[in-house]
Structure 1
Amino acid sequence: MASGWAPVDDTVAVRDDCAPYTTKRRSLLATRFPTEALVIPSGGLHVRANDTDYPFRPGSDFFWLTGCHEPDAVLILHPTAAGDHDAVLYLADRSDRSSSAFYTDRRYGELWVGPRPGVRETTAALDIECRPLPELPEALARLAPARTRVVRGLDARVDRAVSRWSPTGSSADRDAALAEVLSELRLVKDDFEIARLDEAVAATVLGFTECVGELGRAATLPNGERWLEGTFWRRARVDGNDVGYGSIVACGPHATTLHWVRDDGPVRPGDLALLDMGVEGRSLYTADVTRTLPVSGRFSPLQRQVHEVVYRAQQAGIDAVRPGAAFLDPHRAAMRVIAQALHDWGLLPATVEESLNEDPKAPGAGLHRRYTLHSTSHMLGLDVHDCAQARDETYRDAALEAGMVLTVEPGLYFQPDDLTVPPELRGIGVRIEDDILVTPDGSRNMSAALARSADDVEKWMAGEAARH
């Protein structure tokens, strides 16, 4: 078995475009903990059923610092006497024909799963010192517990190793601070990240367009939502790594369920189809876009009325995005439009100002939320809800800065069984979402290529119908 093979191609990988950026990011992180070692794992494979695994995706913090896609890898930043850090990446080496694993290991052997970069290839591609994974336990044992911080919950081997440290070692609070700092450093995107997000958005726009072209076919199936879900997933796999999150394809009353990811319902002419989807690019940055489309190609007067309010609310939110504005300003601007519309329709049992009062104990405060349910924005990047470990004072309660990317996604949802609204409104759900880059002088709608207003949506859909 070990003989009779052609020579192995020994070509070393070329340097990855991300390498200069990940080097800067590691240096930036190190300045926050100048005398401490930092341990950041990529995570491992997870069993889906018996001897099959889920597709692997590295932890976002690890990937942001390395650009490495490999499972089981661990980055250690070692403080030096000069005040900086040496980075060492521990990862599994090749399971090529020189190893017995090549023939016998169904999970990692290259005869079973194909070639993958090892120590030498990763060192060359990512411009970082790499060491074989079997050296990791000794490297962890050499760390001083009281001067080490760890990203926990991704790698059981790392978690077990640090759990054996003394009670005076790395505590949960100290490790949580590392997770916070990593999230906060990722709030402002560099040029490389913005370009990758633009790529993910462009693929997402194409995926939406392909879904519009498949609405007719989807309407012939008992579970046509699945047809649209699959149409978009195919684009995500062709142009990217995967979908960035479970696609929401919610038609008719399903659109009033915020996280409708079963996607197993019919697509009926006359109904609205709420599509909330995003391509995760090969660089793992994801888009997050929502459009609510009339399946038949034209909105009914009532559907248009609801859509128009959400569109105006979203535009008010987008207009509020600028450097120095509060992160919550887009939400406040969008909610004012929605609360006013609900008041004008006679659905708000309070004044607009009473409902918008942010003191939850104030009379009438938040009554509009029955029909809008969620916040208007979240950060976007490697994760669809990016930078989730950041402190409120640096995120939710902070000012926007150039380089931040956030969604603006107001919605109106009238539940099918909500007796506080007229019967004709029940079962209508509308959300419109775009990905907005904060620029030095304002903002840029990264997903502006997709029609947003009711008129533009109808023209777009008519054009796609004519092409098909």
Structure 2
Amino acid sequence: MRTRTPQNRKFLEYMGANWAKQKDSLPKKSAVAKYASARRDAVAKKFKGQILVFEAGAAKVRSNDTNYMYRAHSAFSHLTGWGSATVPDSVLVIDARGKTSKSMIFLRETAGHDSDEFFANAAIGEFWVGKRPSLKQVSALLDIQTRSLTSYKAFLKTLPKEKIRNLNKDAELAQFVSELRLVKDSYEIAEMRKAVAASVMGFESAAKSLKQAVGHQRGERIVETAFYAEARINGNGLGYDTIAASGPHACTLHWITNDGPVNKNDLILLDAGVEVDSLYTADVTRTLPVSGKFTHIQRKIYDAVLEAADAAFKVAKPGVKFSDVHQAAMNVIAKKTAEWGLIGISAEESMKQDVQLHRRWMVHGTSHHLGLDVHDCAQARREMYVDGILQPGMIFTIEPGLYFHQDDLSVPKEYRGIGVRIEDDVLVTKSGVENLTAALPRKSTDVEKWLAKFI
């Protein structure tokens, strides 16, 4: 049973005394500050004359008095540059009414040792969860005006209500800031490279864990946690729940339970990404033969998926539609399933919009934008996203797959229980795309050579 902290005056005075003077040195201005300022300027220009509110969000309860690890709202982080160190409940206000817009962050600054919050408040007290930065420290770091969160409600009362637009209640504002992230600036691209590099290390650790995973009743969890360790060591954590799907589990697109065995002759599909401290995340998938070698049928299916991915890579360049990337991959999937006699019609017939039989074994899309969210820019308009035109600076995935469920009677028995996905993160350049995840092998023979180093 938990006991209450004493609240008598004598104890409060005793707790507040004899602490060393705290050094509140100011940090250097973050490299992201100028980019975040430019993003705020773009928002202010679009919503001239308005007051725009972006909430970082509160900590989310996991159970009773325990919370999930905190993560700020992506729009807040994008417009402030504040990442994993964001103080919960912080609020960004952009006042675009004047000739020059003004921005400020309201945050719960650190409390003094003379406050009972220091030791008595388990949710936010320094004694419990660590010291928060001061207003001056956050201002210096992000190059933005700061105010105490305690003054926020009073500040709102001084503003004309009809001018206030809160992201959480404004679809147009949410759409604009989502579309603002479609093309990444140089800071974002550098952060995505960091996220990919950390994820590559995670995949290497996962590959090393396969020996230990084989034969364990929860072998998938061994692989999952090997990646997770690297995510916490080299980043803020996972960008999304890891999929470590061995054998027939690979046919379940979002298999995150990861409680199954890893058998020697299985393929294991690992879909995982590290989120770095700036909150940008990678999203990578590799399908690996646990034994180190593909069987004939595994290689046949894997190579077909690789061909689809390569076709998508070939068409991806500035000026083409985002949806053309998916179409290129589907042409290959339709061709292969037709050649294998699975659909009973030609690939051309299956590709017709009102037919699409090949999609039985790949129901998901080939690509999605990537950045602060694993499925980034989700509130963007269709004409800007799916039907949008590729531009340099865009980052998205290319991830075709084939999934033959154990109980799928429409395919030969040898196909059943095999799921394959190959997912890379690509950056649109002036002439095509750069494969950011090229450090991880893609060709089946290269995968085998790479695995030989670890198992």
Query: What secondary structure is seen at the aligned counterpart in 2 of 1:206?
Result: helix
**Equivalent of 2:163, from 147, 163, 184?**
147
In the alignment, which residue of structure 1 is the partner of 2:12?
A: none
For residue 312 of structure 1, report the CA deviation from its aligned partner.
0.6
Give distance in 2, aligned partners of 1:345 and 1:406.
Answer: 30
- Over residues 262-321 of structure 1, what are the superposed CA-to-partner deviations in whole Å (9 max), with x where a residue is unaligned? 000001000100000000011110000000000000000000000000001001111111
State the match for 2:363 in structure 1. Answer: 373
Residue deviations 1:58-113 (CA, integer Å, cap 9, x gap): 0000000012222100111112331x311011110112314221121111111111
* Paired position in structure 2 for 1:64: 78
Amino acid at match of 1:52: T
SS in 1 for 2:415: coil
What is the CA-CA distance between 1:220 and the residue it aligns to? 3.2
Deviation at 1:185, TM superposition (A): 0.5
| Alpha-carbon contact 1:96-1:109 (below 8 Å) kept | no
Q: State the match for 2:388 in structure 1.
A: 398
Q: By how many angstroms is 1:50 displaced?
A: 1.2
Q: 1:355 aligns with which of 342, 350, 353?
A: 350
| TM-score between the two structures when normalised by the length of structure 1 | 0.92
Instruction: Output the CA distance in 2 between the equivalents of 1:209 and 1:282.
Output: 21
1:37 matched to 2:51 = yes
User: 1:42-191 to 2 correspondence within 5 Å?
Assistant: 42-68=56-82, 69-82=86-99, 84-152=100-168, 175-191=170-186
One-letter amino acid of the structure 2 residue matched with residue 382 of structure 1? L
Provide the secondary structure at the position in 2 that maps to 1:393.
Answer: coil
How far the C-alpha of 1:139 sits from its partner, in A, is 2.0
Amino acid at match of 2:276: G
1:464 matches 2:419: no
Tell me the equivalent position of 2:428. Answer: 438
Q: SS of the counterpart of 1:131? A: strand
RMSD (Å) for aligned C-alpha atoms: 1.0
1:256-405 equivalence runs, <5 A: 256-358=251-353, 362=354, 365-405=355-395
1:215 to 210, 214, 239: 210
3-state DSSP of counterpart to 1:379? coil
- Of the structure 1 ranges 143-152 and 2-11, higher mean CA displacement relative to structure 2 is found in 143-152
SS at match of 1:197: helix
Counterpart contact for 1:95–1:108, Cα < 8 Å: no
Q: Is the 8 A contact 2:118 2:126 kept in 1?
A: yes
Amino acid aligned to 1:135: S
TM-score of the superposed pair, with normalisation by structure 2: 0.95
Aligned length: 438
1:423 alignment partner, one of 386, 394, 413:
413
Q: Distance in 2 between matches of 1:371 and 1:113?
A: 48
Q: 1:146: Cα distance to partner? A: 2.6
Q: Percent identity?
A: 47
* CA–CA distance in structure 1, aligned partners of residues 96 and 52 of structure 2: 9
Q: Which amino acid aligns with 1:41?
A: E
TM-aligned CA deviation for residue 184 of structure 1 = 0.4
Please report how far the alpha carbon of residue 386 of structure 1 lies from its aligned counterpart in structure 2 after TM superposition: 0.1
**What letter matches 2:98 in structure 1?**
A
Indicate conservation of the 8 Å contact 1:203/1:239, yes or no.
yes
Q: Secondary structure at the match of 1:435?
A: strand
